[in-house]
Structure 1
Amino acid sequence: MSEGGRVCDTGLTVASFNVNGIRAARRRGFDDWLIRRNPDVAGLQELRCGADDVGEFAGYTAAIDVGTIPGRNGVAILTRTAPAAVRTWLTHPPKARGLNAFAHEGRYVEVDLADRPLTVANIYLPKGGLPAELQRPGSMREKPDGGAKHARKQRFLAGFARELQRNRLAAQRAGRDFLLLGDLNVAHLEHDVTNWRAARKMEGFLPEEREWFGEITGPRRLVDVVRALHGDRPGPLTWWSWAGESFVKDVGWRIDHHLATPGLARRAQRVEVDKEPAPELRLSDHAPLVVEYAE
């Protein structure tokens, strides 16, 4: 790995990884990465298979929600010790208005760790689309939809902001820190996108999406741990298109995140992106995002 691969002997090592299909990722070497990296907790997104096809992960307990849409979405949290509690939107339907329409899609799982006062949540947020006024027939990979996917994502964002607030406060009342992992399909700052000027009219970097990210984060709410550790400079990128030479030229986005309550964020010591050294070695179109937290 060019920016990772070191195993932490103390503290808590947490990974977030959109595997873009767990079966495909395993064929490419996911299990070797898991053994080598040896995280204490790993949040996986886009399993893209049924529950029976997820498989087992040696040394880990897996809390999963694959949803009911065949071959789409799906999230999991792997822990060394079986969690004290597991919640998904199927077992614990979201209370925020508007989210029930997404509850069957396999987008959210949350666990209370059994060996420390921490609740870990894992989200795969809808990719969305462009608003109608930005859609140009002939210049889009997908057929124009009049802004339907964009509107759907906005409904999700609004509802999830409320649900996230509720879950964070519930953890606080229980004496637990809270950590949100996942592919949010939103980049916040100009440092998070290589070609940020062009990205301003792309889904994932629209003004309303960036504003939403700013609203759910802050020094008293959830801290963008990766940005806090990496500083005010470009990167670290976590996603590169399969097409062209984006991976080789390091032209990508930071849409994978660790958002932590302030106490946990202060214990964050190191962030690494396990970007593979060559395109043919890629496990996914994302790379694992790993943060080490002190005890």
Structure 2
Amino acid sequence: MGFTVTSFNVNGIRAARRRGFDDWLADRSPDVVGLQELRCPASEVGEFRGYSAAVDVGSIPGRNGVALLTRHEPAAVRSWAAVPPKARGLGAYSDHGRYIEVDLADRPLTVACLYLPKGGLPAHLQRPGGMRAEMDGGAKYKRKMAFLAGFARELDRNRLAAARAGRDFTLIGDLNVAHVEHDVTNWRAARKMEGFLPEEREWFSSLLSPRRLVDVVRQTHGDQPGPLTWWSWAGESFSKDVGWRVDHQLASPALARRAEAVWVDKEPSPDARLSDHAPLSVRYRD
């Protein structure tokens, strides 16, 4: 039978539920679901039928928030709110609701869920009137790069802790970085956009190694365009399938070897969208 792990940036769990998230969950029935951008207080997250939910909504009203849904109550839950990150540069994010991980009770696997900051452009790429956000002298870019550096160290620590405990490890979530050209429809133009800057892509490459973590989506999908996971709400990006893959699943080598299928649940029409992202799933052999 195998088991399925899904990552889904819901862009507001209350809005996603109004659009049909619970029907999607009941129909697809993945074994583990990582959610990002809950964007609501803990009291309004609600329950998920058939799942135990580990949640960290953070302290910033209407922002961030992550959760991991599992079929059985986890053997252990660790969020940055409860166990602050040790890597330098991450302490300021401990109450932002960006990271949570669980040890599954029914198999030797640690699942981590991350919502990584979007960031911005470095100062030399910012142009008046040429940006969606206000010019900030590269402040958001610098914060993101510091986060990336710190998180790489934190990720190594957590991955190794799982290995010492005899557990496989997978990191899932919205990493707000597209890694290779196949991950962006208009990749040439994207080279000067946040999320596809050369230094962001280099950071992503540094996480990957046959002995450390494997991009199981790219491994399984192959060296071909997609699978895309995000499309702008604006214009006809969704209908024309012009988007990005910023949602990822990275797995420890032994787990990666058991990946047998990957898919994105892209809705049939713009009106049926649950979020500006679509769920990204990987099925593993038992």
Alignment match, 2:27 = 36
Query: Which residue does 2:105 correspond to in 1?
Result: 114
Matches within 5 A, 1:247-286: 247-286=238-277
C-alpha displacement of 1:191 = 0.4
- Aligned residue in 2 for 1:221: 212
Taking the aligned partners of 1:155 and 1:28, their CA distance within structure 2 comes to 36
SS at match of 1:62: strand
Matched residue, 1:131: 122
What SS does the aligned partner of 1:246 have? coil
Amino acid corresponding to residue 220 of structure 1 in structure 2: R
Moved more, 160-169 or 96-105: 96-105
Cα deviation 1:180-238 (Å, max 9, x = unaligned)? 00000000000000000000000000000000000011211110000000000000000
Alignment partner, residue 191 of structure 2: 200
Q: Note the C-alpha offset of 1:169.
A: 0.2
Q: State how far apart, in whole Å, the 1-side matches of 2:247 and 2:133 are.
A: 23
Partner of residue 6, structure 2: 15
Structure 1 residue 37 displacement after superposition: 0.3
| 1:233 maps to 2:224 | yes
The two structures, once aligned, show a CA RMSD in angstroms of 0.4
Question: How many angstroms apart in 2 are the aligned matches of 1:191 and 1:143?
Answer: 29
**Is residue 149 of structure 1 aligned with residue 140 of structure 2?**
yes
Match of 1:69 in 2: 60
Aligned twin of 2:37? 46
* Cross-structure match for 2:92: 101
Give the aligned residue type for 1:230.
Answer: H
Give distance in 1, aligned partners of 2:123 and 2:94: 26
- SS for the counterpart of 2:8 is strand
What is the deviation of 1:11?
1.1
Structure 2, gaps ≥5 residues long: none
Give 2:282's aligned amino acid.
Answer: V
Q: Displacement of 1:95 after TM fit?
A: 0.7
Aligned partners of 2:277 and 2:259: how far apart in 1?
Answer: 22
Q: CA deviation at 1:98?
A: 1.1
TM-score (norm 1): 0.97
| Alpha-carbon distance in structure 2 between the residues aligned to 1:165 and 1:142 | 33
Q: Secondary structure of the equivalent of 1:142?
A: coil
- Matching residue of 1:184: 175
**4+ residue runs of structure 1 moved beyond 3 angstroms?**
none
Amino acid aligned to 1:225? V
Aligned equivalents of 2:85, 2:254: Cα separation in 1: 26
TM-score normalised over the length of structure 2:
1.00
The superposition leaves residues 160-190 of structure 1 with CA deviations (integer Å, 9 ceiling, x where unpaired) of 0000000000000000000000000000000
Shift in Å, 1:21: 0.1
Matched position secondary structure for 1:182? strand
In structure 2, what is the Cα distance between the partners aligned to 1:142 and 1:252?
A: 19
Distance 1:126 1:93 in 2: 17
Q: State the alpha-carbon separation in 1 of the partners of residues 92 and 150 from structure 2.
A: 10
* In structure 2, C-alpha distance between the alignment counterparts of 1:21 and 1:150, rounded to whole Å: 24
Total equivalences in the alignment: 286
The Cα offsets for residues 31-74 of structure 1, whole Å up to 9 and x where unpaired, read as: 00000000000000000000000000001000000000000000
